[in-house]
Structure 1
Amino acid sequence: MRMLHTSDWHVGRTFHGADLLAEQDTVLRHLAGLVADEAVDVVLVSGDIYDRAVPSAEAVRVATSALRRIREAGAQLVITPGNHDSAARLGAFADFAAAGGLHLRTTVAGIGEPVVLQDEHGPVAIYGIPYLEPETARHALGAPEARGHTGVLTEAMRRVRDDLASRPAGTRSVVLAHAFVTGGVGCDSERTIAVGGVEQVPGSVFDGVDYVALGHLHGAQTLDDRIRYSGSPLAYSFSEMSQRKSVWLVDVDGSGLAGVERRDFPVPRRLATMRGMLAELLESPDYAEFADCFVSATLTDRVRPVDAMRKLRDRFPYAVHLDWEPEGGPPAVLRYAEAVRGRSDAEIARSFLDDCRGAPPSEREQALLVAALETVGKSDPDQDGDIR
């Protein structure tokens, strides 16, 4: 049997405010193409189909279209919810969906009830463990003594192993789970699932099964031959810029795990970071290749440029993030009491502009400041420049 392991679609997510639905639709179409080209029997989606518990209508349309294309390509699907999904919403109509080859494993009660598929070697039992929030899950599991992610996943896997032991000898087994397993490497776009400062669980929790299809971490990773993260199909932060987004093709034969191969996703829009003075970024031919990239720019101008993002977008329409780190470092920051002690209102306002931009206001700007302070009812400055 051939399986395709994917996770963390996060349909509906934005990238620094930029809509990603078109890019998500592109990579999910590629996923359906892989199913057809590689003769995949079942697609495993280990959580975070959506980016939020109540996805938009457009996000639902993209996700359901992807699921339909995968089924039309010939594969069944097994899906579990992640920490971004609403398990109840994702699992609605699960019994009806299963009749069409879409198996939604979204409940604690169903952890020990696998999707059982057949190949020429016999049964393959696929267990879906939905994301388990420890405090609520330990009661739902009937294990109030369980503590943290390790405790609730240990109980969940006990149910998996108990069921597996009752099945015919030679039954191959796969587990889907959404967790942070020790040895994995996170990135900036993942929402923390820490409980009491602890979010990681040891890989030994998953002993006893042939393959563990993990979700939650956005970079593809191999913890050992049978425990892997597929990662997300798109980069959702600039910290993922160097990652190869991919899926795992997993083959099982009569004796268990037979092999795992990687297949890369296309990159609908590359990420780029750049650093320099604004004029250099706008004029240098060295940056021409980034015109169609999502861009994060760090400006080093000594004085903060005015309207910098608009100017950047004239050359880089997909500029989404901007920092200012002036050469020589930012001016020293004083505590508020120190910054205002013995200073007039006008001086404080001038100092504020200087701190924000790295340069004092011009004469015209100073005149505007004085006029503004007078307009709000703090009439004529006294001889010391105080506005009263």
Structure 2
Amino acid sequence: MPLFLHTADWQIGRQFSSFDAEAAPHLAEARFAVVQRLARIATERQVDAVLVAGDVLDAQTVSDRTIRRLFHAMEGFRGPWLLIPGNHDAALAESVWTQAQRMGVVPANVHLLLKPEVTLFAAQGFAVLPAPLTQRHSYSDLSAWMDDAQTPEGLLRIGLAHGSVQGILHEGIDSTNPIAPTRCETARLDWLALGDWHGTKSIHERMAYSGTPEADRFHNNDAGNALLVAIDAPGAVPRVEKIATGAYVWKELVHSLRVASDVDAVEQALDALGASDVVRLQLAGQVDLAGQQRLDAAVARADARVRSLQCERTALALVPTDEDLAQLQADGYVGELLAELRAESAAGGADSPAAAALALLAAALMPVGERA
């Protein structure tokens, strides 16, 4: 009974440039660590092969050191690793893969499937039909050749492809690297290992996206997994087990604030976060001075605890109450300006320039220890 570990979209070498200098290296390093974790899983579960369905590397320009570290991370599994190029690491005439071959660092058990041709693993009971991308974007279905591919009787037919299954994924992402949703039927495949969609998603009983094994986006798409696929015999329905592999959990928290209890909800959400969380917090609406102080304190607590916290609050307005303004220490000209802006704000409403100026002045007059 052949057993496979299906994974994809490692994107080794990604730099995470939108993160701060403290978090980015940890996120990049996690992508090497998860490959080591996959190798351990493959060894522990005694799989016959690891299927890697494209975007192994993040770019054609990754360093030689990154290439060496990739293959070093795979050393924990001595069985076959079957890799196809995706859109990030396409098999160009000169590519990251030809560079790896020239460097002589590709181990004998790592099979770079750079051409659409059958590769036999007769001893393990299967044949592989890859659809490698030879350019970043293709507008034809590169898996179509599988329909006419001949394989010895009695061997499983295992396909690998990287792209968008037509009519299945979100609208607007079917334009490049298309894959027919009927490919398993027309090509008589026992399993089609898919890459490109970064979340785990079953298309039907013989076709699925494993997703990236280490989450890398703020999408609620079940990332951070690999699939263990067992197939008893040609034509048998695969048995698929989802295995959690990721170290970090990416979370997007969105809160619209209007009343004091809304601040309570933000505090509770932030205080529930842990060291493995990568968080994007988006705040909108309005708060008074007390609410802002509570938010600032909660964000500071969470920021010290999680791997990364990005806070976006440009859509959150500070709207001080009369009590807030009365407690501010403002004498002389500043006191007069505060009273004038207060009056103009009351006349012009919360969206007036005076209201914005009042909020800025109130924030500036807050005691230093209470500011953001």
Both proteins in one fold, TM over 0.5: yes
* 1:299–1:40 CA distance, 2 compared to 1 (3 A): same
Structure 2, gaps ≥5 residues long: 319-350, 363-372
SS of the equivalent of 2:219 reads: helix
Would you say the 8 A contact 2:271–2:298 is kept in 1? no
- Corresponding residue of 1:316: 303
For 1:231, which of 211, 216, 224 is the aligned residue? 211
User: Given the alignment of the two structures, is residue 289 of structure 1 paired with residue 272 of structure 2, yes or no?
Assistant: yes
Matches within 5 A, 1:182-197: 182-186=166-170, 194-195=175-176
- Corresponding residue of 2:110: 102
Deviation at 1:248, TM superposition (A): 1.8
SS of the equivalent of 1:214 reads: strand
For 2:131, which of 129, 139, 159 is the aligned residue? 129
Distance 1:204 1:210 in 2: 13
Distance 1:54 1:90 in 2: 11
Would you say the 8 A contact 1:94–1:103 is kept in 2? no
User: Given the alignment of the two structures, is residue 149 of structure 1 paired with residue 140 of structure 2, yes or no?
Assistant: yes
Amino acid of the structure 2 residue aligned with 1:194: S
SS of the equivalent of 1:290 reads: coil
For 2:74, which of 67, 79, 83 is the aligned residue? 67
Distance 2:360 2:82 in 1: 67
- Corresponding residue of 1:204: 182
Amino acid of the structure 1 residue aligned with 2:56: I
- Corresponding residue of 1:336: none
User: Given the alignment of the two structures, is residue 7 of structure 1 paired with residue 8 of structure 2, yes or no?
Assistant: yes
User: Given the alignment of the two structures, is residue 111 of structure 1 paired with residue 116 of structure 2, yes or no?
Assistant: yes
Distance 1:259 1:282 in 2: 44
* 1:230–1:8 CA distance, 2 compared to 1 (3 A): same
Distance 1:43 1:357 in 2: 63
Aligned residues: 305
Deviation at 1:53, TM superposition (A): 2.0
SS of the equivalent of 2:286 reads: coil
Deviation at 1:225, TM superposition (A): 1.2
Deviation at 1:39, TM superposition (A): 0.6
Amino acid of the structure 1 residue aligned with 2:243: D
Distance 1:132 1:356 in 2: 56
The root-mean-square deviation of aligned C-alpha atoms, in Å, is 4.0
User: Given the alignment of the two structures, is residue 269 of structure 1 paired with residue 238 of structure 2, yes or no?
Assistant: no
Would you say the 8 A contact 1:91–1:104 is kept in 2? no
Structure 1, gaps ≥5 residues long: 138-147, 329-353, 366-388
Distance 2:249 2:83 in 1: 28
SS of the equivalent of 2:356 reads: coil
Would you say the 8 A contact 2:194–2:207 is kept in 1? yes
User: Given the alignment of the two structures, is residue 26 of structure 1 paired with residue 63 of structure 2, yes or no?
Assistant: no
SS of the equivalent of 1:326 reads: strand
- Corresponding residue of 2:368: none
* 1:179–1:363 CA distance, 2 compared to 1 (3 A): closer
SS of the equivalent of 2:160 reads: strand
Deviation at 1:41, TM superposition (A): 1.4
Deviation string, structure 1 residues 71-99 (Cα, Å, up to 9, x no partner) = 2xxx2111001101142222446597777
Distance 1:266 1:281 in 2: 33
Compute the TM-score of the two structures, normalised by the length of structure 1: 0.65
Matches within 5 A, 1:323-342: 323-326=313-316
Would you say the 8 A contact 2:132–2:162 is kept in 1? yes
- Corresponding residue of 2:324: none
Would you say the 8 A contact 2:36–2:74 is kept in 1? no
